[in-house]
């Protein structure tokens, strides 16, 4: 399920490193117990804590003040938030209707319209575009025992295998019991764009563009609802379907 939020034009901007502000704002919109659960716990799988939420970048015509590190949306903006748990989207919708705005840093973004939809997948392949970059990585050890993060590009074989493993973990966290031995294929249409995104104090590498994803229908739906790749709750891997066997229900 997904919520599309439309914002009024605003004169004040926000930091170009706004994804952390967005995450904080979205959690604060959830009702008390659900917001606390999302922030502190989420779904637990073995030693991992998985947060079942994903969101896009702010979309719309923008202006950049690179010297000050500020981004402006003089004609308004839009944001997509997704989750495989419908209660999260419903709680987010309620919070938006009550507050009527999202606070990013010191700036208020008044809400003009909210739409909630549930894209359906009926085939084994979908064409999607990224609404936020897909990041895929592994934590490696150096010779001295210290850790470092190795990011994989769509050209690396590990990219698809790690995306598949990530979907399997999400399915297990949601309690799925069906066969998890399946093949996943990901093919970018053209050269993917490389993105470096700052989240808190770290820069994270991701890739964006149009891509064809093939696999079991239910896992394709999971990628749409929870995101593809890692760090979805930090605003990575948000997808929007543009073609394939599907239709979209507006609620």
pTM of the model: 0.93
27 in catalytic set: yes
Note the pLDDT of residue 244: 61
Query: Where in the chain are all domains bearing CATH 3.30.70.1900?
Result: 120-250
Residue among 18, 27, 207, 219 flagged as catalytic: 27
Tell me which fold the domain 2-118 belongs to. Alpha-Beta Plaits (3.30.70)
Residue among 6, 20, 39, 62 flagged as catalytic: 39
Note the pLDDT of residue 115: 95
* Series of mean pLDDT values for 10-residue runs along the chain (251 residues): 97 94 96 92 92 98 95 97 98 96 94 95 96 97 87 97 97 88 95 96 96 97 98 98 60 38
Task: For the chain, list the strands marked E by DSSP.
Answer: 2-7, 14-15, 43-45, 48-50, 54-55, 63-65, 70-72, 77-82, 101-104, 107-130, 137-141, 147-151, 185-188, 193-199, 202-208, 210-214, 239-250
6 in catalytic set: no
Query: Where in the chain are all domains bearing CATH 3.30.70.1890?
Result: 2-118
Note the pLDDT of residue 250: 41
Note the pLDDT of residue 247: 46
CATH number corresponding to 120-250: 3.30.70.1900
């Amino acid at each position: 399920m997904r919520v599309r939020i439309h914002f009024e034009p605003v004169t004040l901007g926000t930091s170009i490193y706004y994804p952390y502000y967005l995450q904080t704002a979205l959690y604060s919109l959830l009702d008390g117990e659900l917001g606390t659960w999302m922030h502190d716990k989420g779904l637990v799988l073995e030693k991992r804590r998985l947060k079942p939420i994903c969101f896009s970048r702010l979309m719309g015509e923008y202006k950049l003040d690179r010297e000050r590190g500020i981004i402006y949306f003089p004609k308004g903006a839009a944001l997509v938030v997704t989750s495989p748990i419908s209660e999260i989207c419903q709680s987010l919708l309620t919070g938006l209707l009550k507050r009527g705005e999202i606070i990013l840093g010191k700036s208020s973004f008044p809400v003009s319209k909210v739409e909630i939809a549930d894209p359906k997948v009926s085939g084994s392949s979908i064409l999607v575009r990224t609404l936020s970059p897909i990041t895929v990585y592994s934590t490696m050890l150096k010779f001295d025992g210290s850790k470092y993060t190795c990011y994989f590009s769509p050209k690396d074989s590990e990219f698809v295998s790690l995306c598949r493993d990530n979907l399997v973990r999400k399915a297990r966290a949601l309690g799925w019991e069906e066969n998890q031995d399946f093949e996943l294929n990901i093919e970018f249409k053209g050269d993917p764009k490389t993105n470096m995104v700052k989240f808190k104090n770290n820069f994270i590498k991701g890739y964006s563009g149009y891509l064809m994803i093939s696999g079991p229908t239910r896992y394709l739906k999971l990628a749409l609802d929870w995101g593809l790749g890692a760090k979805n709750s930090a605003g990575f891997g948000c997808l929007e379907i543009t073609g394939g066997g599907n239709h979209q229900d507006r609620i």
